[in-house]
Structure 1
Amino acid sequence: MKIRLYGTVNDSIVDGPGLRYSVFTQGCLHHCPGCHNPKSHDLQGGYLEDTDVIMAEILKNPLLDGVTISGGEPFLQPVALVELAKGIKQHGLHLMIYSGYTYEEILDLGENERKLLSLCDVLVDGCFLIGQRSLSLLYKGSANQRIINIQASLKEKCVSIQKINDYGEFIE
């Protein structure tokens, strides 16, 4: 299945805990002032790639701890990302997604978006707000954003903030 990408990073150490493969989707409707990836906003920009090609690239690195999907806005392409997320989870990798939508908004978007959310381990939600920007925040750009343990949130039917130890690792 094809997905529109802004780009990928094979071995990121800044897009979540451990060594990660990062997928940056193309297309975003949020247009947050001060966005880290403003060139990813154009819905027709970037390039098309097959999810099987991305999955093959991910599997080339046996040292990966997980995959991070960011953007642009990942939830604009939920069908292709569900396919990719299923492969990621089948191979036992951690999946983290960044979205300008809040957790609650994603639940209201539709069935495909909820399916993608259900495959996710951790979600960083909410638009980037330049007035709340801080370089001291771990794994997020502004203080309004939340780092959410999705599996616990879906089970408990309320937002469960992900716990992080002093080393930046997610803990149960």
Structure 2
Amino acid sequence: MPTAEATSPPPDSGPVLRVAQVVPRTEAEGPGVRFSLWVQGCALRCPGCCNPEMFAFERGTVMSVESLAAHVLATPGIEGVSILGGEPFSQAASLADLCERVRAAGLSVMVFSGYTLAELKAQARPEVERLLATLDLLVDGRYERDQPESRRRWIGSLNQVMHFLTGRYSPDEPRFTSPNTAEMHLVEGKLIINGWPELANRLRP
């Protein structure tokens, strides 16, 4: 997935998202095999973030929600979709459109946000509430590089919390209590390390 110059979708393509990268199949970003999507743009800019190239809002590739939904639904054997960034709630309206489509197809939805759930609710933005309503799992809170998490899977730092927003998953499931993991993927000639921010930072040149 390109990460530099943005491209424009057709004018009649409907809602769009600015996307940093896609890994269609991963087990390092949530329960089961998941389609993972990193959105572009983040105002929080946590020190030590493993994706600083995703801070700038003007970068990434502009893609239609329709094409992304089609890509997700055409990916065989996935349990759900995980959305990271960047900051997903900076594009809440378009992500709500995408997540409503994939939930309707029976897939689960997990989002990683630098905002806490309380902060998101305090914003009182309809698009934020709409996106929250589509989520099965939310991992919230700023990434704290001085508090790396190694015991809870899919969590970057000790302060972050996983919220079980529906009954689809339970914190008692063994796969939620296993150690953190990382993966490496070669996508269009680009090495992508995902799943464990501290390890990703150490492995990057």
- TM-score exceeds 0.5: yes
Q: Give CA deviations for 1:133-171 in whole Å, capped at 9, x if unaligned.
A: 13333111101000001236xxxxxxxx951422338xx
The counterpart of 2:175, out of the listed 142, 167, 170, is 167
Determine whether 1:132 maps to 2:147. yes
Determine whether 1:68 maps to 2:77. no
CA contact (8 A) 1:122 1:162 kept: no
TM-score by length of 2: 0.75
Identity %: 32
User: For residue 156 of structure 1, what is the aligned residue in structure 2?
Assistant: none
What are structure 1's unaligned runs of at least 5 residues? 153-160
CA contact (8 A) 2:96 2:130 kept: yes
User: For residue 18 of structure 1, what is the aligned residue in structure 2?
Assistant: 32
CA contact (8 A) 1:147 1:162 kept: no
After TM superposition, give the deviation of residue 59 of structure 1 in Å.
Answer: 1.1
User: For residue 107 of structure 2, what is the aligned residue in structure 1?
Assistant: 93
Higher mean alpha-carbon deviation, 96-105 vs 134-143, is at: 134-143
Larger-gyration structure (1/2): 2
Counterparts of 1:62 and 1:12, CA distance in 2 = 12
- Runs of 4+ with >4 A deviation: none
What are structure 2's unaligned runs of at least 5 residues? 1-14, 178-205
TM-score by length of 1: 0.89
CA contact (8 A) 2:36 2:83 kept: yes
Counterparts of 1:129 and 1:30, CA distance in 2 = 12
User: For residue 145 of structure 1, what is the aligned residue in structure 2?
Assistant: 160
How many residues of Structure 1 are paired with residues of Structure 2 in the alignment?
161
Please provide the CA RMSD for this pair: 1.6
Residues 147, 126 of structure 1: alpha-carbon distance in 2 compared, 3 angstrom cutoff:
same
Counterparts of 2:96 and 2:107, CA distance in 1 = 14
